[in-house]
Amino acid sequence: MRFNKIRLSNFRQYRHMCFNFPKAAVCDTHIVLAPNGVGKSVLLNAINWCLYSDEPHTSGGIDTLHPTANRLPICNLSALDYAAELGEGFCEVCVEIEAEDAGVRYTFIRKARVDANTRQQSGRDVFRVKKTDLTGESVFFEDEDGQAVVNSFLPKTIREYFFFDGERLLNYFSPEESRVSMVRDSIFEIAGVNVIARADEHLQITLSEIRRELSKANPNLKAKERTYNDVLANIRSKEGEIRDLEEQIAISDKKIGELEKLINNSEEGYSANRRFDENEQHIAEYEKQLEVEKKKLVRFVRKYLVTIYLYRANADAVQYIREREENEAIQPNVDIGLIQESLDDHMCHVCKREITPVLETELRRLLEKYKANASSGVLGAIKRDVQAALNIEGFEPELSAIFDEQKRLETRIESLRKENDGLLSKIGRTFDAAAIEDWMRQKQRHLELIQSNNRKLGAYEEALNNLRRAERDAKRDYDDAVDADRALEYTKKKKDFVEKAESIVAGLQTRIVDDVKRKMQDETMRLFEELIWKKNTYDHIELDKNFRLKLYHKRDGTSCLNSCSAAELELLALAFTIALHHVSGYDHLLFIDTPVGRVSDVNRENFARKLLDVSKEKQIILAFTPSEYSDEISNVMSKSVVSSYTELKMDEDTTTEV
């Protein structure tokens, strides 16, 4: 099915608008471009309202008990004001969709009247379908009959796979049980599995009615029939118990997954917090060491300050004394007292020998000379001390060692502080040691429950096999009794025929589920690889019996769906949707509102190329915001390539216009 036209009259911000979707190019792609709030989602709601009488795409979701609560009336406000001004009691809202399927044309029209004064809808919607076949002959269907026509094309339960908001794709693979069962049920509905299941159920009912008919005609059969029916009832009951156990195991399995996620997240926070504390301890230690180094520096400064401060003056003084010595202006460093004592004792106090008269004369001469030049002796003494003050070897390595150690400690502290800033954000996702323990206990309980349920499952399956053997025996007894009564031959033939039909349909059900699953896995993976920018990253897709999707990584072969980015999930969901269309045989249009809100860069280009390719076989209507319709999209889906391009704008904040 494809849409040719959508006409909106007084529907929310649309006053009178007609969208034409002609197939004017090879690619049946249609672009609707509008800024936020101008009417893309309203257009999506208009389609839903026309076909199903509701508006599922609202910002806050619909309060099903009070669908009009906190919402403006469905009728355009200007139209209502105008109607009130003219004194008209009502204003009519109408959405009309012209569509075609295999050459047959359909017009779906829904109308509602809104009171111009109370602004409430007056009476029920009126729904009408006009079907025009290839010969041009038209048939009309009203209300419920019209709805049946819509459902024969696109049941309400599966519309989400044909008209949807791109943001919805993000929640597609949510592990929530309701979401999982919704995806599974939708797949079963779209792929025809549910139809086969209904046929099987109806054949079983028909069969039991035929058996009752046989028993009524021959009371002797009644006991045999009762026995047979009892066994059948036991089988159904046992099958139900097995299903319950399997569901319980699946629930425990899912719960374990959720708990592991919680535990892992909390463990991450827990270990981040532990690391944070360790780092804080290290920081405190390093800060202590830094204090020690600072004290060392103070001691160093104290030790060298005067020396360093007077270094120049000391060096000059030594230089001056040396120059005087060279000019012999300074006497040698001689102890005058020692000479005097040696003269007084007539014995040298240095070598302990007697002083001869010649030596005594010489010593008295020197003594007189040195006494006359006493200051030069002082200079000699100063020179020794000042020379010592100039000896500052080891000063620079000592200072460097202190500075190097300080720098090392400061760098380490800074790096630890930086790491702790990062850790804080992880710790922000709070953890609770008691909660982790509780989760671990819960996980253990569920593991034990799975073990115990698996044991029960084995016993139940054994019991079911026994019941099936009993069923075969009871049926043989019953058939023998029927055979004995030739008068029931025709009814027996019907019974045999329906039994055979039911057995074929039951087998068909299993085969079709397996077939859909296998095709969905392969097709989704193929399309996903075309859409995704990462090549050779993902290996394969697996759907479990509940059609819960698992995506396996190429490198380590583990399931990695929860590690995918929002863009990857959106593209995967899109691949899944298109695959579902292919596999199910539904060749209806695809309408996506805000299709690439979370997707950027090269992914947008892949998206545009793939959708353009798909639109060679089916109609695709895409409602973009201007920022979404970026170069990556517009270069591929240019106006010359697509079948139609419509830009919307808002007039005076009230009415949407082309």
Beta bridge partner(s), residue 127? 110
Shortest Cβ 1–other proteins spacing (Å): 11
Cβ nearer to other proteins, comparing 211 with 238: 211
Cβ nearer to other proteins, comparing 4 with 204: 204
Q: Is the dihedral of CA 217, 219, 222, 225 positive or negative?
A: negative
Shortest Cβ 489–other proteins spacing (Å): 9
Shortest Cβ 83–other proteins spacing (Å): 40
Query: Is residue 329 a contact partner of residue 365, using CB atoms and an 8 Å limit?
Result: no
Cβ nearer to other proteins, comparing 101 with 142: 101
Shortest Cβ 468–other proteins spacing (Å): 21
Q: Is the dihedral of CA 150, 156, 160, 163 positive or negative?
A: positive
Cβ nearer to other proteins, comparing 101 with 462: 101
All residues at 6 or more sequence positions from 384 whose CB lies less than 8 Å from its CB, including other chains: none
Query: Is residue 78 a contact partner of residue 85, using CB atoms and an 8 Å limit?
Result: no
Residue 352: CB atoms within 10 A of its CB come to 8
All residues at 6 or more sequence positions from 628 whose CB lies less than 8 Å from its CB, including other chains: 594, 595, 596, 597
Cβ nearer to other proteins, comparing 582 with 604: 582
Chain residues in the site for other proteins (CB under 8 A): 148, 152, 191-192, 195-196, 198-199, 202-203, 205-206, 490, 493-494, 496-498, 500-501, 504-505, 507-508, 511-512, 515-516, 519, 583-586
Closest CA to 5 of 95, 140, 138: 95
Cβ nearer to other proteins, comparing 13 with 584: 584
DSSP secondary structure code for residue 628 in this structure: T
Shortest Cβ 516–other proteins spacing (Å): 8
Q: How does 625-658 read in b/e, with b if 16+ C-beta sit within 10 Å? A: beebbbebbbebbeeebbbbbbebeeeeeebbbe
Cβ nearer to other proteins, comparing 101 with 414: 101
Query: Is residue 641 a contact partner of residue 634, using CB atoms and an 8 Å limit?
Result: no
Shortest Cβ 127–other proteins spacing (Å): 18
- Which H/E stretch holds residue 517? helix 489-531
Shortest Cβ 140–other proteins spacing (Å): 18
Cβ nearer to other proteins, comparing 151 with 373: 151
Shortest Cβ 576–other proteins spacing (Å): 17
In angstroms, the Cα distances linking 529 to 22, 168, 308, 550, 635 are 31, 21, 75, 15, 21
